[in-house]
Structure 1
Amino acid sequence: MSLLPPPERERLRAQYPDVFARPASARLATPAMILAAAAIFAFGLVDLDFSPARLLAGFHQLGWITMMMIPPDPGSSLPAYLVALGETLSIALLGTTIGALVALPVSLLAARNIVPSGIFRFPVRRFLDSIRGVDTLIWALVWINVVGLGPFAGVLAIAVADFGAFGKLFSEAIEAADKKQVEGIRASGGNALHEIRFGLMPQVLPVIAGQVLYFIESNTRSATIIGIVGAGGIGLQLAEQIRVLEWQKVSFLILMILVAVAAIDWISGKLRFAIIGQRALA
């Protein structure tokens, strides 16, 4: 604007007064938000007793623990660790699969293009929100008290937590589907079920499959965490070795988890690209 001649600037100022004469509240809004965020950050540091000295001491302790972890050594417990790792992978796979299967029909009820009426769609969405709002670890603690310790509680915890997440993701994928295929099924005399089966599902199933594969990878880590609270798997072994300060075994268990997650990520990536390729050819 500074390169314009003065008459042109005056003309624009008269034509767009709101742009050139912003109120003080608009000019001060951004600085006020930055100051408020900085004040909240500083208050949080003070309220949570943040101490640089404690942080430095913690780094020293962390370095000592890291040195104690070298070299990783399972001792004589390798067979038990392999069984525990397989249990963790089973928890992640079964929990994710059950959550996806249960969430798919419910997600249809939460999709705007399937259930146009907000009266019926609203409670379904709020139900999914309430399930998704509780962390997997909390669900694990709940199911441990319901069905007892062990992997069964872990499967139920992941299934319930993923049910809420899948319900939202699947419903959004359904809402984003192309309407032309549905309209083609309707024009050829198909009913509502035919529209869903032949118009929507072929479009959203590759997206859903990709999301499920990603959640299997993510839930491998979640299954490890909930195992620490008693839901079985390698997390239980990890918590036990940390408790008795067997740091070499701890590092070996961590390496096992990392290798398993990397392998699942590689496999799921290959499957996702295969699904995308089949969809492109179709």
Structure 2
Amino acid sequence: MMTPAERTLNDLDRMQQGISVARVQFWLIAVFVVAFYVVAIHLAAVDLGKLATGLPKLWRWIEQAWPPKLDEVPLFLLRTAETVAMAAIGTTIATLLALPTAMLASRNITPFPRLYYPTRWFLNALRGIDSFVFALLFVAAVGLGPFAGVLGIALHTWGSSAKFFADHIENANLGPFEAVRTTGAGRLTTIMYALVPDVLPVLLSTTLFWWEFNVRASTVLGVVGAGGIGQELKNSMDLLDFSRLFTIIAIILVVVTALDQLSNWLRQRLG
């Protein structure tokens, strides 16, 4: 039988051992993190010297960009409209494909449980390939132009949207769903009347987010020939026409900011 003093000493010993183990774990983690970033900096070829010598060159380009060229603004606005249209159509196609796919990828409501994991793997594959890569592939398949960008956006956004939809459905309250099912209603009818109204605001908000995101992402698809304002951006860079480039960037910033505000306002209304 230990005395209170002995128990106190044992508790202190265990506490000291715990502190020692925690210190060792802390230093092991610290060494791992430092080693990771040392290797990452080497692999990323981070060179502050190159940055120091490149900044004056960048400043000279900025000086050459003024005044901006305004004679081609109508063309730039047309190309920007193409970019917004690409994002809108691609996001819409992706959403229409994502809704039924999300049902298959939701463990709690899928009518075909055996397709749960294959559907999830398929969506992960779509998410893992960027819209830029998809657009590059479709330029080779359907030719240059915005249509390739629409297809690239649609496939990547399909995987991402369906994953978000499925995750939200799996976390949704299924009380109304189960209640309607007990009345003998079919699965599709139950989903439409008991589940969709509950998750619809979140689904619409997610769709707006992806449309806003795709407008920004679409600005670079023109680099691979997928049309939109990105094509004019690439042409200006190739020609080192910095005043034209500055005008294009300014228009992109204005349009993206306006769409961001519109999207936020719509999401607040949906919330």
TM-score, normalized by length of structure 2? 0.91
Aligned-pair CA distance for 1:195: 1.9
Q: Distance in 2 between matches of 1:23 and 1:115?
A: 49
Q: Is 2:146 the partner of 1:151?
A: yes
For structure 2, the residue ranges without an aligned partner over 5 or more in a row are none
The one of 79, 82, 85 aligned to 1:87: 82
Q: Is 2:240 the partner of 1:245?
A: yes
Q: Distance in 2 between matches of 1:12 and 1:179?
A: 51
Aligned-pair CA distance for 1:220: 0.7
Please give the secondary structure, in 1, of the residue aligned with 2:163: helix
Equivalence for 1:3 = none
Of all paired residues, the percent bearing the same amino acid is 35
Equivalence for 1:13 = 11
Provide Cα deviations, 1:70-103, integer angstroms capped at 9, x if missing partner. Answer: 23223x2122111111111100100011011111
Contact 1:223 1:233 in 2 (8 A): yes
Distance 1:159 1:12, change over 3 A: farther
- Letter paired with 1:272: R
Q: Is 2:49 the partner of 1:53?
A: yes
Equivalence for 2:174 = 179
Equivalence for 2:60 = 64
Cα RMSD (Å): 2.3
TM-score, normalized by length of structure 1? 0.88
Distance 1:11 1:80, change over 3 A: same
Aligned-pair CA distance for 1:47: 4.2
Q: Distance in 2 between matches of 1:10 and 1:45?
A: 49
Aligned-pair CA distance for 1:68: 1.7
Contact 1:185 1:194 in 2 (8 A): no
The one of 159, 163, 169 aligned to 2:158: 163
Distance 1:54 1:149, change over 3 A: same
Q: Distance in 2 between matches of 1:100 and 1:12?
A: 62
Q: How many residues align?
A: 268
Q: After alignment, is 108-117 or 121-130 more displaced?
A: 108-117
For structure 1, the residue ranges without an aligned partner over 5 or more in a row are 1-5, 277-282
Q: After alignment, is 58-67 or 186-195 more displaced?
A: 186-195
Q: Distance in 2 between matches of 1:46 and 1:273?
A: 44
Please give the secondary structure, in 1, of the residue aligned with 2:255: helix
Distance 1:46 1:171, change over 3 A: closer
Q: After alignment, is 201-210 or 27-36 more displaced?
A: 27-36
Aligned-pair CA distance for 1:270: 1.7
Aligned-pair CA distance for 1:193: 1.9
